[in-house]
């Protein structure tokens, strides 16, 4: 089972800025089982974290000669554009980690619903089963 701090992938990718000129800015990405952290080029700066519980999907994957372009869509319908070197497979790694996260969360939801729906055993029944 994957631990939350486990690094699944690390390396360079570029994020399109929200500014008027929409420049591509290089980031160091760190992918873990529950988030994508983006570290700016400057040392000591805090990373931006995209937690998987706030990501809806990875969309619009397009390959050109040098880059793969993809968009992360958040649960509030915000779109964040990325590009990476064609052979780096960032979009696939993020998609697989997101699916794994969503599957784990769905299993937890099912388990918690079952626990709430199951009637509690009366104390006398528990005592009768004790060795």
Which residues of the chain fall below pLDDT 50? none
Q: In which residue are the tokens 């528990």 written? A: 126
pLDDT score of 5: 76
pLDDT score of 42: 74
Which CATH class name applies to 9-110?
A: mainly beta
Domain boundaries, the chain: 9-110
pLDDT score of 32: 97
Cα 113 to Cα 110, 118, 120: the distances in Å are 5, 9, 14
* pLDDT digit string, tens, across residues 69-87: 999 999 999 999 999 998 8
């Amino acid at each position: 089972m994957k631990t939350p701090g486990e690094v699944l992938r690390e390396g360079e990718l570029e994020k399109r800025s929200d500014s008027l000129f929409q420049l591509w800015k290089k980031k160091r990405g760190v992918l873990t089982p529950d988030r994508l952290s983006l570290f700016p080029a400057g040392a000591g700066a805090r990373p931006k974290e995209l937690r998987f519980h706030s990501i809806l999907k990875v969309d619009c994957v397009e390959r050109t000669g040098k880059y793969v372009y993809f968009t992360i869509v958040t649960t509030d319908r915000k779109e964040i554009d990325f590009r990476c070197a064609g052979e780096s497979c960032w979009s696939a790694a993020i998609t697989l980690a997101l699916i794994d996260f969503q599957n784990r969360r769905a299993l937890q939801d099912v388990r918690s619903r079952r626990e709430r729906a199951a009637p509690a055993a009366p104390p006398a029944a528990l005592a009768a089963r004790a060795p």
